[in-house]
Amino acid sequence: MFKKTSIFRGVAAVGVFALATSIYASNLLETNKIMVDQTLGTKSSIIVTDEDDDSLFKTFVPDKDLLDENGKLDPVKWDKAHKDAAVKLQEEGTVLLKNDKALPINKAAKVSMFGTRSAGLVNAFKDCGFDVNPALSEAYGSKATTTAPGYANNKMPYKLFDQKEVSKADLLQKNPDLESTFANYHDAAIVVLGRQNAEGADYKKGADAVDPSQEARNSLASTKNEREIVDWATANFDKVIVLVETVSQMELGYLKDNNKVQAILYVGLPDNYGSSAKGIYNILTGAVNPSGGLYDIYASHSESSPAMVNMGLYEFSNKDDVKLVQDKNLFGRGAQLSTEAVKALIALRDEQGTGRIDTSSIGTGGTDFGFYNYLIESEGIYVGYRYYETRYEDCVLNQGNANSTKGVFDSTANWKYTEEVDYGFGFGLSYTQFEFSLGDVTFQENGKHEIIAKFDVTVKNTGNVAGKTPIQIYSQSPYTTYDIENGVEKSAIQLVTFEKSGLINPGESKTYPVTVDLQDVASYDANNKKTYIMEESDDYYFAVGNGAHDALNNVLAHKGKKVADGMDYDGNAAAAKKWGYHFGNIEDGIDAYTFGYSKTGVKIENQLGKVTWNDFEKGKIKELTRHDWTGTWPVEQKDLKAPDEMLKLLRGEYFDVKTKANRDVTDEELAKMFGQKSDLKFADMKLAEFDDYRWDEVVSSMTLEEAIDYALQSGRGFADVETIGFPTGSYAENGAGISWLDPNSEEKQAPWKVAKPEERYPGSTIGYFNTYAIWASSFNREVMNEIGRLMGNDSIVGDKPIVWLPGANTHRTPYGGRASQYFCEDPVLTGICTMEVAYSALQKGGIITAKHFAFNDQEGGRSGISPFMTEQRAREIELRAFQIPVEMHKYDTPEKDYAMLGLMTSFSKIGAVECTASYGLMTNILRKEWGYNGYVVSDLKDDLDIMPQTLLAGSTGYDWRTYDVDIAPYKDAENFKYDKAVLEAIKDACKRKLWVFAHTPLVNSVNRSSHTVWNMTSWRAAYITGISVSSVVLTAGVVLYTVALIVNRRKEN
Amino acid sequence: MFKNIISKISVGGYVLLGGALLSLVSMIIAVISCSPAGFAIVQLPFIILFSIAATLLLIGAVVLSALKGEGILPTLMIVGAIVLLTFTLFNMIDGKQDVLGTVMFSDLEKGHAPTEFACYVGFTSMIFYIITIVITAVGSFLLAAKKTEVAK
């Protein structure tokens, strides 16, 4: 047995390898246990209640329609509810852009589907009833067949930003007889074209960004292969229907103007499970009448907006003066955030004495890196439809040098709306027609700082089939001499609210009452009054219409303008109403009082500091004004040199945080602030009010280390706090909707929990719902409420109190890479969609966390980019989208002040100051003006190097999502404990987060005896087994080898 | 001398020498994976050090076995080499975890050539290290030198 010592040596070698691997794995798993739990659905720590009482699982319970007769979650009902909502969303949000009597088609139509993107719809269409040409779909290859149990791959099925279609030649090469199959599937050709989106990179401008063989003028223009496929379809089919799958506004002119393309539908980016396809099918076949309105304006040339002039990567010419602490060997793009790297960089910064450490671009390279980048948003408020419609009105009214060649892209001579725009914002056709009229406007003054306009909108169905329509309410404010003199800009038309009609039968009229908060009509005067103003005037308008352009035409009709004046068609004066503003404290024709105070009674003032480049260098940049379109058209701003004052901000020198040398808090004072004795536990604070005096006691009982950990850790789970019995809180993050959320919790079993989650669609993390652009296009609050309700229920059954969605940034240009995570270009539409989802989820304790607060206007350079814009633009466009859900004013009652309770900050700066560290943004606007009491988490790894500063500004946590040990240098108590204000900010952050969690399903499973304990999980069992077995093998190998060696030596001797 | 050693090396010895060679190849691939600007990893010095040390230990173990016969020292050298190679592999995983995540487990960096290069070449290096460890482990089961020759 002992002859061959080498065998035992081998055993020992294998043992040592296995032991080292097991120990490494255990370390890796334990340091990332929260991430592992999230991924595997395990629970590495569980809440234990030593004393049972009947308070558990009573605070938030799932809705009955999701449970079976025994009160347990019914997976089939749960799944169906989500899919039903997704179908409804698609039916409400699909936008019919063109219909030349091609639609609807037969429910069992034999169709041929063209386009690589058809792959995601083919199977679902077949299930719905279409007979789809199999040869053509097969020719498109594996994309058509490699579908999950749903109907498309869970991952993005198409290469990022690859606009190439499979060419006709490639298809014919695969199947030369393809054309002969068309005759049998000839009812219609359905062509699916589109573009993809993802975070971290934008589309590039110009023809250079496109493969030259594709002969496209830019990334969003039609490619040669796309045109070829469309031409092939039109040559072989009498009926050609194009489905547009995109969020980035593609150039659709070649389809719009092609008489052989009879129908175009905007369908968003369909979901993974076929629900979107079912909704589209219902519309194609006429089972449902389309009623969506376009979420963004679709320009004829995608680069034609003034915002596009300064869209891209622009670096400060003196970027070295920013003094970003970098060492590419330690901390470059793609490098990891290791303890050594962090320590080395902190040392390097200390050596330099100033500068920033870029933490957010670690490992997420691409174009993320943005500390040296700036963006001049000199287009001001004229983004999206606000530009095209305002310039259109000025052309009609012959004012502001609008009628010129400046900014012309597709117009044959001077700028012309119809030649520059394919489809306007809010536009959408139906299988019927509607006529709108507006009733008289009345006003209701609620106190000194709120005026609500009320009027009725009557909708008449003048067509032959029943249908629904968005009721889009727009306003126009007069553009006055005061505005011109003080740089106040006014969009010719802006959405102020919306409703969706019910089903209206042919010939039937229905009347809908509408309310408009004049806060959304007021303009922000950043230069003179430095607050929101209304001007005393009788030239205000409300209008309704099929989109912004139609509403504007109705206003112009009310003003007596006609086609002869340059309008593209005559408007309907009855759909617009003129009204006068004579309220509030008017001085010299200006009311800066009524809306100069927020709903919380706080005086509204400029808060964003030096936010335009001109604030640093007077007169350097011309801001676009409708007073002179030609003279102020944006100029591309390259290689700007950051002035010294700006450099200070870029280096993060915002707040002077006290250190040991100049501390303002003694050890005795510190001891009194934390670790105080208290009997209060988190469980005692279930549903407690924000101003409950006990919060101070609860927070003060936490140790300093607990408080720092709890205040800061907000990503990949929240820290548990033993002292107060707070269990780890977790969150879910998804682009559009939560999928199955681990109802198989190992915690004390909730009554509704099922034994084991159904293996539904493995690997799926997103995908019940179409993208947010379709949500916006639905103009339907009820749909948003239903999705919010389901998300709230998901929070309960999935133990995920926090949900990081949706994106509430607005689209600045068509080229933004992250457009699919945001609703649209309009702040009111975005804000209302977010509010309705957040409110409904809140009823079940689900905390909707809108992101990215704020100013994520492009992905290029997003990590630290400095966008410069007027405060008017910031407030009226970018911030209003967050203000609406945060204030949630619509739902406030005398008893309860409703509000969205979660926000994620952006990587971006505002001006030269990080959003996370902007006191004006995070405290003065968010907390004081809007009355926000919720929590704010940073985006991934952002601004870790200025933790004390962000806490002082009002941030309440970080999504660091990495090894806890690697964060250690940043969250070291030494960085915080010598500054009283920072310590107070930590306590405040703790209070806010605890308060938020006290209103979530997390409270379901805790009582006073609750505490968190270590739990044996499958992965723990695996590594413990590994360590044990390998230890035995190693020991056996070593012992046997030694024995063998001794035996053999003895034999030899 | 050299010929004498070569003549005494057994199949097991050649397997171990193969492991030594692969250790160097893995290291070179690891270094290449860190070559794009910004994709160096802090663990690289350890990776280089451990790989070279493992290579030397394996060569030393074979030579020692051939000259002096099998014994505790060559065994410790082989086991030591496996430990070092294992640590090297872990260092590679540590150093490359972010790029692996952003390319292979998400779409964040897909299509970004330097990141993909750093990821896929790094991943190749890890595979090579695993093969090296397996080969070395297999070699450790075999005698490094021919028994008869040693006996003489």
Stretch B12-35: mean pLDDT: 94
Greatest extent of chain B over all pairs of C-alpha atoms, in Å: 63
Stretch B55-63: mean pLDDT: 94
State the Cα–Cα distance between residues A331 and A862, nearest whole angstrom: 18
Show residues of chain A in contact with B86, CB under 8 Å: 16-17, 20-21, 24
State the Cα–Cα distance between residues A407 and A621, nearest whole angstrom: 18
Q: How far is B121 from chain A (nearest CA, A)?
A: 14
Q: Among all residues of chain A, which has the CA nearest to that of B13?
A: A6
**pLDDT value, residue A757:** 45
Show residues of chain A in contact with B99, CB under 8 Å: 334, 363
Residue B59: pLDDT above 50? yes
State the Cα–Cα distance between residues A634 and A380, nearest whole angstrom: 10
Q: Say what the ipTM of the complex is.
A: 0.89
**pLDDT value, residue A163:** 52
State the Cα–Cα distance between residues A163 and A214, nearest whole angstrom: 9
- What sign for the dihedral angle of Cα A644, A645, A650, A651? positive
Show residues of chain A in contact with B15, CB under 8 Å: none
Q: pLDDT tens for residues A1019-1041?
A: 999 999 999 999 999 999 999 98
Where are the extended beta strands (E) located within A1-77? 45-49
Vertex A582 angle, CA A577 and A586, to 5°: 145
Show residues of chain B in contact with A334, CB under 8 Å: 36, 38-39, 98-99, 102, 109, 114-115, 118
CB-CB under 8 Å, A363 with B99 = yes
Q: Write out the two tokens for B65.
A: 């076995």
Instruction: Measure CB to CB from residue A335 to each of B38, B108, B142 and give the nearest one.
Output: B38
Show residues of chain B in contact with A332, CB under 8 Å: 37-40
CB-CB under 8 Å, A366 with B108 = yes
State the Cα–Cα distance between residues A356 and A362, nearest whole angstrom: 14
CB-CB under 8 Å, A335 with B98 = yes
Which of A364, A368, A820, A1051 to mutate against chain B (most B CBs within 10 Å)? A364
Q: What is the 3-state secondary structure (H, E, C) of A905-950?
A: ECCCEECCEEHHHCHHHHHHHHHHHCCCCCEEECCCCCCHHHHHHH
Q: Which phi and psi (to 5°) does residue A591 adopt? A: -105, 100
Interface of A with B (CB under 8 A): 5-7, 9-14, 16-17, 20-21, 24, 155-156, 159-161, 198-201, 328-330, 332-338, 340-341, 362-366, 1041, 1045
Which of B76, B103, B131, B140 to mutate against chain A (most A CBs within 10 Å)? B140
- Domain A430-607: CATH superfamily is Immunoglobulins (2.60.40.10)
Neighbouring residues of A303: CB distance < 8 A, sequence distance ≥ 6: A205, A206, A218, A409, A815
CB-CB under 8 Å, A330 with B137 = no
- Domain A95-289: CATH superfamily is Glycoside hydrolase family 3 C-terminal domain (3.40.50.1700)
State the Cα–Cα distance between residues A1035 and A523, nearest whole angstrom: 78
**pLDDT value, residue A365:** 39
- From A124, A132, A158, select the one nearest A276 (Cα to Cα): A124
Return the amino acid letter for A274: G
**pLDDT value, residue A739:** 45
State the Cα–Cα distance between residues A327 and A344, nearest whole angstrom: 9
Instruction: Measure CB to CB from residue A12 to each of B37, B41, B79 and give the nearest one.
Output: B79
State the Cα–Cα distance between residues A374 and A356, nearest whole angstrom: 16
Show residues of chain B in contact with A12, CB under 8 Å: 75, 79, 140
Radius of gyration of chain A, Cα coordinates, nearest whole angstrom: 30
Instruction: Measure CB to CB from residue B83 to each of A20, A155, A328 and give the nearest one.
Output: A20
Q: Write out the two tokens for A941.
A: 């790894």
Strands A110-114, A131-132: pairing is parallel
CB-CB under 8 Å, B133 with A6 = no
Show residues of chain B in contact with A335, CB under 8 Å: 38-42, 98
Q: How far is B34 from chain A (nearest CA, A)?
A: 9
CB-CB under 8 Å, A21 with B136 = no
Q: How far is B104 from chain A (nearest CA, A)?
A: 12
CB-CB under 8 Å, B143 with A366 = no
State the Cα–Cα distance between residues A858 and A819, nearest whole angstrom: 9
Identify the segments of chain A with pLDDT beneath 70.
1-3, 35, 38-39, 141-164, 198, 200, 324-346, 348-350, 352-355, 358-369, 716, 729-749, 754-767, 961-967
Which of A333, A1033, A1045 to mutate against chain B (most B CBs within 10 Å)? A333
Residue B19: pLDDT above 90? yes
Which of A336, A371, A1051 to mutate against chain B (most B CBs within 10 Å)? A336
Q: pLDDT tens for residues A318-371?
A: 988 887 665 444 433 334 445 555 566 667 666 766 667 766 655 443 335 678
**pLDDT value, residue B96:** 84
CB-CB under 8 Å, B114 with A334 = yes
Q: Among all residues of chain A, which has the CA nearest to that of B12?
A: A6
Say how many CB pairs under 8 Å bridge A and B: 126
Q: How far is B3 from chain A (nearest CA, A)?
A: 24
Show residues of chain B in contact with A1041, CB under 8 Å: 75
Q: Which ranges of A116-222 does DSSP label H, i.e. alpha helix?
A: 119-128, 134-139, 168-174, 178-181
Show residues of chain B in contact with A342, CB under 8 Å: none
**pLDDT value, residue A198:** 67
Show residues of chain B in contact with A27, CB under 8 Å: none
Q: How far is A363 from chain B (nearest CA, A)?
A: 5
Task: Tell me the pLDDT band of B118, cut-offs 50, 70 and 90.
Answer: confident
Q: Write out the two tokens for A172.
A: 């014919």
Instruction: Measure CB to CB from residue A334 to each of B90, B115, B144 and give the nearest one.
Output: B115
Q: Which ranges of A194-327 does DSSP label H, i.e. alpha helix?
A: 224-236, 253-256, 275-284
Q: Which phi and psi (to 5°) does residue A787 adopt? A: -65, -40
Q: Write out the two tokens for A1030.
A: 């390998």
Count of other CB atoms within 10 angstroms of residue A52: 10
State the residue for tokens 């010129």: A404
Q: Directed axis angle between helix A964-971 and helix A704-712, to 10°?
A: 110
Which of A6, A203, A369 to mutate against chain B (most B CBs within 10 Å)? A6
CB-CB under 8 Å, A364 with B109 = yes
Q: How far is B5 from chain A (nearest CA, A)?
A: 19
**pLDDT value, residue A158:** 29
Interface of B with A (CB under 8 A): 12, 36-42, 70-72, 75, 78-79, 82-83, 86-87, 90, 94-95, 97-99, 101-102, 107-112, 114-115, 118, 133, 136-138, 140-144
CB-CB under 8 Å, B136 with A6 = no
Neighbouring residues of A79: CB distance < 8 A, sequence distance ≥ 6: A760
- From A736, A763, A770, A738, select the one nearest A278 (Cα to Cα): A770
**pLDDT value, residue A151:** 29
Q: How far is A1027 from chain B (nearest CA, A)?
A: 15
Whether the CB-CB separation of A328 and B40 falls below 8 Å is answered with: yes
Instruction: Measure CB to CB from residue B109 to each of A161, A329, A366 and give the nearest one.
Output: A366
Q: What is the 3-state secondary structure (H, E, C) of A445-504?
A: ECCCCCEEEEEEEEEEECCCCCECCEEEEEEECCCCHHHHHHCCCCCCCEEEEEEECCCE
Which of B92, B108, B115 to mutate against chain A (most A CBs within 10 Å)? B108
Beta bridge partners of A731: A802
Q: Among all residues of chain B, which has the CA nearest to that of A27?
A: B90
CB-CB under 8 Å, B42 with A365 = no
CB-CB under 8 Å, B98 with A10 = no
Count of other CB atoms within 10 angstroms of residue B143: 22
Helix (H) or strand (E) holding A339: helix A339-352
DSSP state of A67: B
Beta bridge partners of A475: A494, A542
Show residues of chain B in contact with A10, CB under 8 Å: 137-138, 140-142
State the Cα–Cα distance between residues A528 and A980, nearest whole angstrom: 37
Q: Which phi and psi (to 5°) does residue A112 adopt? A: -110, 130
- From A862, A829, A842, A986, select the one nearest A902 (Cα to Cα): A842
